[in-house]
Chains A and B, each alone.
Chain A
């Protein structure tokens, strides 16, 4: 639905151009092309070991591609460290949330803003996060390891938002959450997206992901096999057979 609006000449926020990566001799990503435009919600689908996590790590600079280009705002950032990309608006909510469990909720949120020096802006963003998650505000001084799964998810998202990202990468956001929370979590993602944030979501739950996404890619053994709008992907018989549990 939004494909035309997102690709009509605007520069991509974050882009893969023919990216290949290796772990030792193992070829993981093979000639992958991706583009995330400002304000869209896109998802990357794929089974186990299809290269989804490697894609995220490469976007963040934790893995360096062996060939091809990672482009941030039109600039090739292949050899730039993670911190450079965070400063320039890319951040991730990691799989299983990975909060600093022994640190307080407040400290977790503050660490999200580690690279920022604008005290007023940080205070302002903290307030925004308290508005978004009133429950987090009640638990600021608690160690984050003592929170429930749903609350930890809120802190993890809050922590990512504290770096004032323009594109939020989410690694399996519904992994390890109770079914009731999965729905709530996707609503939350939509809400953040509605404020204009570009979101790149890697998800096993293809049905749920496609129902809120604008576009999507399907990755199979490191290769992009499908690249289409969410609606078209939903209707794709191959995808329905392999990922949506039908057929």
Chain B
């Protein structure tokens, strides 16, 4: 069949590209003068260890932000079985809240004088507004559609996404908002275990890790988390146990929104610019991460985010550059979505996804 042959072709093509690129890269590391190493990209000299470590760190920190957002996609999918495409906007609301608050803090000098307090405050505020957005979204847009086919809330979520983008555009205008600089003592380069890490990235990794630990605790160790997992599996029996299914769904949106809010703050501190469109690309990438990790699986969402961030940071220089592809540093997004295609071609349930039986999911 034509489609099968086409898919096979893509599979073979992508795998060949990855294998040849990797081999050429490894060859360059050991013997730059070798004709195979020079075959596609004469003059390539490979990467130094420090360069590679730098790529890894930036991939990890980027990926952990994707992971934080991906959790929200995955949790909502787990409980309601649809993709909430407006979740990227929840993240954007967090980043925007962080900008407004940190801008004020900078204006009154508190940003410099007591940065840690400011950081805690902007995180709390961003979490509050993101959670609020997610909960209102569920109440207004999705709850009335609870019993309709899954395509309906999915399309609705795209509408909700446009609505929030334009709402924020109307409130704050189209200009790019710049976060204040982090204080020097925090953002300076540090050397940890031979890794040269910018303090900002360290902050991102630490806050992301703490948030995930918190989420893990809620989901796995508390009664609310148990209720969430029960509702995700069987709403009817969950309500037979006396669980308030509606309240549990709201909690799921709230927790996912909180994670996206933290992600938004980290994004703002890292890239220092926010617009009403900030939620789009990270949102789509995080959705990709959730699928890569196996949607509905929280550990998978995190792992998917980190793998995706690392892949888009490392693969351009390690696989594409040795193949002689021009302008590799601009191909991050292409790499990220190629990862999605690869996962869908080879393991459609995601890297850590359980096989979905027809009984579990329609």
Contacts and interface: CB of A to CB of B under 8 A. Distances in A.
Interface residues of B, number: 17
B15 interface: no
B196 interface: no
A39 interface: no
- The binding surface of chain A is classed by DSSP as mixed
Interface stretch (B48-56, B107-115, B223-231, B313-321): B223-231
A156 to B, nearest CB: 10
Nearest to B227: A114
Contacts of B243: 83, 111, 114
Interface stretch (A16-24, A42-50, A100-108, A183-191): A100-108
Contacts of A92: 240
A107 B242 contact: no
Contacts of A94: 237, 240
Given A107-B226, A110-B226, A111-B226, A100 B242 contact: no
The 3 A-B pairs at the shortest CB distance, nearest first, are namely A115-B242, A83-B242, A86-B242
Contacts of B230: 100, 103, 111
A49 B237 CA distance: 21
B16 interface: no
B242 A82 contact: yes
Interface of A: 60, 62, 82-83, 86-87, 91-92, 94, 98, 100-103, 107, 110-112, 114-115, 159, 163
B333 interface: no
Contacts of A114: 223, 226-227, 241-243
Nearest to A86: B242
19 contacts: A60-B240, A62-B240, A82-B242, A83-B239, A83-B243, A86-B240, A98-B234, A98-B236, A98-B237, A100-B229, A100-B238, A102-B233, A107-B229, A111-B227, A111-B230, A114-B226, A159-B241, A163-B241, A163-B242
Contacts, number: 57
A107 B221 CA distance: 10
B33 interface: no
A107 B229 CA distance: 10
A87 B229 contact: no
Interface string B211-227: 00000000000010011
Given A62-B236, A94-B237, A103 B242 contact: no
A103 B240 contact: no
B239 A62 contact: yes
Contacts of B236: 62, 98
Given A60-B240, A98-B237, A159-B241, 7 more contacts: A62-B239, A86-B241, A101-B233, A103-B226, A103-B230, A111-B241, A114-B241
Nearest to A111: B241
Contacts of B223: 114
B237 A100 contact: yes
Interface in B231-260: 233-234, 236-244
Contacts of A87: 242
Nearest to A103: B229
A87 B223 CA distance: 17
Nearest to A91: B240
A91 B236 CA distance: 13
Contacts of B354: 102
A115 B229 CA distance: 16
A83 B234 contact: no
A163 B241 CA distance: 8
Contacts of B242: 82-83, 86-87, 114-115, 163
A98 B238 CA distance: 10
Nearest to A169: B240
Contacts of B226: 103, 107, 110-111, 114
Scoring B227, B237, B354 by chain A CB atoms within 10 A of each residue's CB, the highest score goes to B237
A103 B243 CA distance: 15
B233 A103 contact: yes
Contacts of B241: 86, 111-112, 114-115, 159, 163
A154 B154 CA distance: 39
Contacts of A163: 241-242
A92 B240 CA distance: 8
Nearest to A159: B241
A66 to B, nearest CB: 20
B58 to A, nearest CB: 35
Scoring A91, A101, A111, A112 by chain B CB atoms within 10 A of each residue's CB, the highest score goes to A111
A102 B227 contact: no
A98 B243 CA distance: 15
A60 B239 CA distance: 10
Contacts of A101: 233
Contacts of A83: 239, 242-244
A83 B248 CA distance: 14
A91 B223 CA distance: 20
Contacts of A62: 236, 239-240
B239 A82 contact: yes
Scoring B236, B240, B354 by chain A CB atoms within 10 A of each residue's CB, the highest score goes to B240
A111 B237 CA distance: 10
B240 A82 contact: yes
A100 B226 CA distance: 10
A163 B237 CA distance: 14
Nearest to B359: A101
A216 to B, nearest CB: 24
